[in-house]
A = this chain, B = another copy of it.
């Protein structure tokens, strides 16, 4: 198996249950959307909700049913062209920026396809040899659950009416105290996913030694209120705080606040709401995170520093998306589950990393250029999806994910 390391994956019935739970959550997240909501695409980076419903199904149909169920015939011969994302080995596909042209098939037709695939896949869920691949498929679908949420948020934001997707009240965040620091004495740390310790993506390994210098990591996230201080202090107008590419981006795009901020409000899945000054700031780019850290006299952590601290924490403690109705954001400041946290690390292969052959080998390795690593998972990350070794990655200017920051410093 290829896109994932970690062989000790327990087979059914745990896997069958995980499969069903994952599939059901995807559909639950899309349930409030009309066919039209699920069709629109707001930018090249984002995909329609409908497309996520279909692409995840394409993944199962291609890599499980087609490859492992003898005699399986594709539900529709022309749909792989529509719903392959980026797997060159799987052939030509619709240009990414044209996904919003798919008014057909409808959400209903895609749900019917999902049901057919779920039915057909049932006998495979018990096969121990397929367990790693099924676990990878679940992890893959969870990633698209998060993207479905962040992409539809961006799409609804384009509508001047700012329509809500649901109507949920976010509890007020607790006023955070002064930052306390997780201190680390430096030395050699073991970084990356441990073989046999459960599922991990291929890019989380091989586990290897990294030499750290003494450092400290903030025990909480930067808040909306602190970000407002940065703005009030002229942060977006002070060239000296910014990386050169960041300063060019700020000026070219006219950026003066996080995405989704307007006056005292910000846009949420529940429409325009008052911002909570004590909640963590989100929807910032890596450029903004870096400038803020410079302004604050601190810096971003490396991904290794972050992981060394996080190894002692339980990822499940965080505020992640659950099968029970989606409780997006509660406004905590935990290591896991409030927002993705920028590191200053570029997304690069670990020593001795080698991408697997074949289509699934395209999963992670080919993106190791020009992106930065984020850690920790967000309020839109499905529960159980992240762990201390988990590496997310985006281009430095992207900010439509729930991205925030946690400061670090040398000691």
Task: Name which residue of chain B comes closest to A287, CB basis.
Answer: B369
A341-371 contacts to B (CB < 8 Å): 344-346, 348-349, 351-352, 366-370
Task: Name which residue of chain B comes closest to A351, CB basis.
Answer: B213
Cβ of A159: which chain B residues have Cβ within 8 Å of it? Answer: 101-104
Is there contact, CB below 8 Å, between B366 and A244?
A: yes
* Number of copies of chain A assembled together: 4
Is there contact, CB below 8 Å, between B101 and A42?
A: yes
CA distance A291 to B390 in the complex (A): 26
Q: Could you give, for residues 180-199 of chain A, a 1 whenever the CB lies within 8 Å of some chain B CB and a 0 otherwise?
A: 00000000100000000000
Cβ of A107: which chain B residues have Cβ within 8 Å of it? Answer: 36
CA distance A101 to B352 in the complex (A): 45
- Verify if A72 is at the interface (C-beta below 8 Å from B): no
Is there contact, CB below 8 Å, between B213 and A211?
A: no
- Verify if A116 is at the interface (C-beta below 8 Å from B): no
Binds B, one of A80-88, A254-262, A377-385: A80-88
Q: Give the interface size bracket for A toward B.
A: 35 or more
Cβ of A242: which chain B residues have Cβ within 8 Å of it? Answer: 366
Option from B86, B243, B368 in Cβ contact (under 8 Å) with A368: B243
Option from B103, B188, B348 in Cβ contact (under 8 Å) with A39: B103
- Verify if A325 is at the interface (C-beta below 8 Å from B): no
Is there contact, CB below 8 Å, between A37 and B103?
A: yes
A56: min CB distance to chain B, Å: 19
Cβ of A88: which chain B residues have Cβ within 8 Å of it? Answer: 239-240, 247
Cβ of A247: which chain B residues have Cβ within 8 Å of it? Answer: 88, 366
CA distance A202 to B169 in the complex (A): 50
Q: Could you give, for residues 292-318 of chain A, a 1 whenever the CB lies within 8 Å of some chain B CB and a 0 otherwise?
A: 000000000000000000000000000
CA distance A82 to B163 in the complex (A): 14
Is there contact, CB below 8 Å, between B86 and A244?
A: yes
Task: Name which residue of chain B comes closest to A39, CB basis.
Answer: B36
Task: Name which residue of chain B comes closest to A344, CB basis.
Answer: B348
A399: min CB distance to chain B, Å: 15
CA distance A44 to B349 in the complex (A): 31
A409: min CB distance to chain B, Å: 10
CA distance A81 to B160 in the complex (A): 8
Is there contact, CB below 8 Å, between B370 and A396?
A: yes
A110: min CB distance to chain B, Å: 11
CA distance A86 to B240 in the complex (A): 12
